[in-house]
Amino acid sequence: MLTDQDIKKIIEANIEAGKEVFTTKEDFWELRKDFRKLQSSVDRYLTKTEKWYQEMKMLSHKVDRHEKWIQLLAGKLGVKLES
């Protein structure tokens, strides 16, 4: 098990090498802000995707309805439609 002296030596060696030893509170807040930005971006993308999906669903229903009308008209007019 490491003693307090061992931990101090490791910290000092890392500081001398220019390495960060522990994450500071400021680093944590920066990461948190970055995460919030990412989360907001994902939420906006998801909202746009959901709207697009709903539009495509409505458009598909509209096309199906028009196709049915065309089939009915063709039947009444005696026109054979090829699928």
| pLDDT for residue 49 is more than 80 | yes
Token pair listed for 43: 């939420």
pTM recorded for the entire structure: 0.55
User: Residue ranges per domain, the chain?
Assistant: 23-77
Residue count of the chain? 83
Separation CA 17–CA 5 (nearest Å): 18
Average pLDDT of span 43-57: 97
Separation CA 42–CA 36 (nearest Å): 10
Closest to 70 measured CA to CA, from 37, 8, 62, 4: 62
Average pLDDT of span 15-20: 74
In 3-state terms, what secondary structure has residue 71?
helix
